[in-house]
Amino acid sequence: MFVVRLKDPSSEHLETLEAEAAPHAEIVRTVRLADDTFVLFRSEEAPDRWRDRLSSLPAVDSVHSVDTPYVLSSRVIRDQRTRLDIGKDVVIGSEEFVVMAGPCTVETETQVATIAHSVRASGARVLRGGAFKPRTSPFSFQGRGLEGLDILSHAGRKAGLLQVSEAMCEEEVGDVASAVDILQVGMRNGLNYSLLEAIGRHPDQPAVLLKRGIGSTIDEFLAAADYILAGGNPNVILCLRGTVDFSKHSRSSLNVADIPALRRLTHLPILVDPSHAAGHRDLVPAMSAAALVAGADGLLIEVHHEPDRAWVDGPQSLTLEGFSHLMNRLRLLAPAMGRWVAPGVVCETDSLHPMEELDLEKPSRDRGNDTAALQGHEELQA
Ligand code: PEP
Ligand code: MN
């Protein structure tokens, strides 16, 4: 496979390129991704031959040879890391280590509002919460659906948080994309190509948090991201959440080496979900710290005000206090890695400040609350 990045994607230039390549290569796809246009070719010819021939055309910016099943997420076509501005001053893939937190599932308005305000006060930037829940058993609670999306989006906005929620099938994509800021694709759908394509061609181009399939290789994971990118949606965030495991100690297995490996292979931002990887709350702080140190761009963490009474995934949910300790600890660790974690913002329940008015401190000043961080030390070490 080879890929041509065009300087000028006008149709006349595309025709010239096509004519020049035609005898030797087949055009697979033309993709417009943000400000770039790429033409993907399949060819049996030696790379140097077509590179020489195509590089001299006026519309061609660069020509790349790719030997992986993924192309658009590859660093071969874009060397700088992608920074995704998801709104409200939150840029994933920037120096900010962005933490998304909240319950596994939306239960009640009070539950989501309580958790939202608390995680915001601890420095989270995005509120998570499933409304459409993929469950192993068809007889388990399946999520509150559209009502759940409303509750999440309302609570998130009131607390000054962006929101992320899962869509499990094509029919849910529009509802999730219009209700919240980030659409999540869960591990069960990590290789659901028709869903990924539907998200890729959705006109709203929602930011997508794409979880790695439970049994997917890294190549398959990045190729899944390409299914979304190929539709013209450049707003993809990768999320590692562990793969199948034979250990009794954790729910799945998260290889920390995958983080730097992905940073080498792809320009896309990388999040880690330590909660679903661990399955037990006492493992979450150490895995979160490891993710930060290994170069992840942020975390997706399950938090509940009453984990023992949570409808779904209580054992892996941090308490509000445990989350606050972890955030203080991450805030101390981040500067060593050239990053920063947002300070917490306490919102009055009835008079919440819009995000634009918040004074978000930058890393040099953002030392967090050292005393609180030290109190959280034991949980981190556990
Ligand atoms: C979730 O984040 O709610 C979830 C179901 O995660 P996963 O798809 O990683 O199991
Ligand atoms: Mn969960």
Q: By the 8 A CB rule, do 370 and 335 touch?
A: no
Å from CA of 319 to ligand 2 middle? 14
* Pocket flag, ligand 1, residue 251 (CB < 6 Å): no
Residue 186 CA to ligand 1 centre (angstroms): 5
- Amino acid 349: pLDDT: 60
pLDDT digits (tens, 9 = 90+) for 8-36: 888 888 888 888 888 888 889 999 998 89
Q: How far is CA 109 from CA 117, 156, 249, 350, 371, in A?
A: 12, 11, 34, 15, 33
| Structure confidence at residue 356 (pLDDT) | 37
Give the lowest-confidence range in 13-27, 40-54, 346-360.
346-360
For 193-223, the pLDDT digits (tens) are 999 999 999 999 999 999 999 999 999 999 9
Instruction: Evaluate: CB of 325 within 6 angstroms of ligand 1.
Output: no
pLDDT, average across residues 346-362? 48
pLDDT at 161 over 70: yes
DSSP code, position 237: E
Which tens digits make up the pLDDT trace of 132-146?
999 999 999 999 999
Residue percentage of the chain with pLDDT more than 70: 91
Mean residue pLDDT of the chain comes to: 90
CA of 49 to the centre of ligand 2 (A): 51
Q: Report whether pLDDT(185) > 70.
A: yes
What integer pLDDT is reported at residue 316 of this predicted model?
98
Minimal-distance CA residue to ligand 1 atom 9: 187
| Of 182, 332, 262, 33, the residue nearest 254 (C-alpha) | 262
3-state secondary structure labels for all residues of 320-380? HHHHHHHHHHHHHHHHHHCCECCCCCCCCCCCCCCHHHCCCCCCCCCCCCHHHHHHCHHHH
Report which of residues 235 and 24 the model is more confident about: 235
Tens digit of each residue's pLDDT (9 = 90 or more) over 251-305: 999 999 999 999 999 999 999 999 999 999 999 999 999 999 999 999 999 999 9
Q: Tell me what pLDDT residue 176 has.
A: 98
